[in-house]
Structure 1
Amino acid sequence: MAAVYQHTTKTSLTVGVLFCAALLLCAYTKERPAVARLGASWVGEFLRPFQALHGATRHSLLSWWGDYIALLETQRENVRLKTRLAALEAQNSQLLEFKKENVRIRGLLRMAEEAAVEVVVANVIGYDPSNWVQVITIDKGSRDGVRVELPVLERNGVVGHVISCGAGSARVLLLSDRTSGIDAIVQEGRARGVLQGMGRFRARLEYVLEGGQVKVGDRVITSGMDNIFPKGLLLGVVSSVGPKATGALFQEIEVRSSIDFTKLEMVEVLVGVRPREDLD
């Protein structure tokens, strides 16, 4: 308690002394203004470096704060622009895909119109995962007019034929499957044979007699004799004519399909032939 009292007393005395000194200084400078101006000048000179430092520090802090706020706003704007750009790129990709799909559909329908056939356009929704079977699945079925053994085409030629059909989907055996056989004709030399699948999207033309004129680059088309494919549809192009074995009856001919099955996205199922009067 005594220590607190002593501290309070010292504080009061110090404040009193300073107050009295201030009063005396005011009275003295009032009588002698020159001394007051000189004192103010000395005080100003003494405080000038501190004031300069304070001003520079304040300016730097304000400048740094302004740059920081501007940087935050720039970052937010950058995020907004990136988000907008991503959205525009996604929209552009969708528009490009719609455009390409429209071109594919137009091509398929134009081919059907020129061939005077009725078709159902379908999307490819699946491939057989094994390497032993060359089969695709399409998104059209019996309720769309699709049935077993109907030909399946693409604007570049024959894809295969339907082997099974559900209400809303169907499975298509590709012409490159080993169990596929299509009666065919070499368009230039008119040699006839059976296009047999070899797997891995390849095929060969079987049973072409030794005397048949076949050369690399010849087009191979459907003959129309198998009761599945109409005559004249493109199957592929002769890619090689192998050396004939001694005494062999048939030539060894490989055919490159006109279809790139790895990029197959849309096909058309030939469901009928339009009467001639419908074309007038």
Structure 2
Amino acid sequence: MHISQIRGTIKKFAVVLAFVCAFVFMLLSKSENVLIEKTSGTAGEIVSSAVDVLVMPAAVLVKGYEYLRSLRKIDLENRALREENRRLTIANAESRALLVENVLLRQLLNYTPPPEASFVTAKVVAEEGGAFAHAITVYTAGSPVVRKGQVVVGNKGVIGRVEKTGADYAKIFLVNDINSKIPVMTEKSRIRGVLAGENDLLPKMVFIPLDAGVKVGDRIITSGIGGVFPAGLPVGKVVSVDREGVKVRPFDNLSSLEYVQIVDYKLPDPALVFSERDEAQ
């Protein structure tokens, strides 16, 4: 009887223990699932952050490459616009000059127009500004058509003339250099004079009568006298008229030139023309 009671007690304990173990296993299973989920979520975040860090340099490089491509495109567009602006400026000057010339040439016969001009675009590589000189040095890439005395224009008008030429470079005296003397005239009233540099910010129009009637705001263009500069090229605008003279502000900012055009108008040397004429006579 004692043994049977012990066996019954053991059976009951075994059943209870089985239920307890099953319950514990259920709890462990749930806790492990939560732990696994939390662990997998944390690991995913860590891996995602690591991937972002690894991908960041590549993204920066891609954006940098796209930015450089856009800068290159903008630079090419700016150069094209500068070239177009120069062509339009010269075309506008020629049109304005032709309007005036047509009035003067209506009664003239056998008029022969000047030959077409050619251009050489040059990059400014050095500047000389001081008490004794206002000049620039440009890279001409060894162009054989660049010669001393040729006209040099900027984006809006005449800025100087070629003074010296070398294998790949040329020196240009700006219109405000003391060595610069350009025959000019007022566009409307046709008052002639000489635009002389004084190594100052603004050149002065000299050799004009005191009562000539030059006014502030008058446009100044080349007169063509002397045979070096053709008539009608825009130069600047009168900004002051007083006892010190007539000051002219060039249309281009001479202190911020980047590219210029050296213009060959194929004009004959007046000295050679007259010497050949004298020999023929």
TM-score of the pair, normalised by structure 1:
0.73
Q: Where in structure 2 are the equivalents of 1:59-208 lying within 5 Å?
A: 59-109=37-87, 116-128=116-128, 130=130, 132-140=132-140, 143-199=143-199, 201-208=201-208
**Aligned positions, number:** 241
- AA partner of residue 220 (structure 2): V
Distance in 2 of aligned mates of 1:144 and 1:112: 22
The letter of the residue matching 2:191 is A
* Counterpart pick for 1:270 among 258, 263, 270: 263
**Aligned AA (2:249):** R
CA offsets, 1:241-272, max 9 Å, x none?
Answer: 22x4xxxxxx6211110112234222221223
Aligned to 2:232: 232
Which structure has the bigger radius of gyration?
1
Q: Measured at CA, do residues 66 and 200 of structure 1 come closer, stay the same or move farther in structure 2, by a change above 3 Å?
A: farther
Percent identity, aligned pairs only, is 22
Moved more, 87-96 or 126-135: 126-135
Greater alpha carbon shift after TM alignment, 102-111 vs 162-171: 102-111
Query: Following the alignment from structure 2 to structure 1, what is the Cα–Cα distance between the partners of residues 236 and 199?
Result: 15
Mapped partners of 1:266, 1:123: distance in 2: 5
Query: In the alignment, does 2:14 pair up with 1:36?
Result: yes
Distance 2:197 2:172 in 1: 14
Partner deviation per Cα, 1:18-70 (whole Å, 9 max, x = no partner): xxxxxxxxxx99x9655333113334556776665554333222211101111
Letter in structure 2 aligned against 1:80:
A
Report the aligned-residue RMSD: 3.1
- Work out whether residues 141 and 165 of structure 1, in 8 Å CA contact, stay in contact via their aligned partners in 2: no
Q: Give the TM-score normalised by structure 2.
A: 0.73
Q: Distance in 2 between matches of 1:215 and 1:157?
A: 20
The Cα of 1:226 is off from its aligned counterpart by 3.3
Alignment of 1:239-278 (within 5 A): 239-242=239-242, 244=243, 252-273=245-266
Give, as a single letter, the amino acid of the residue that structure 1 aligns with 2:121: V
Q: Tell me, which stretches of 5 or more residues in structure 1 are unaligned?
A: 1-27, 245-250, 276-280
Q: Distance in 2 between matches of 1:142 and 1:76?
A: 50
In 1: Cα distance, 2:170 partner to 2:190 partner: 34
Counterpart Cα distance in 2 of 1:199 and 1:63: 76
C-alpha distance in 2 between matches for 1:94 and 1:135? 30
Q: Deviations over 1:118-169 (max 9, x none)?
A: 2222222222365642211111166421111111113411010111110111
Match of 1:223 in 2: 223
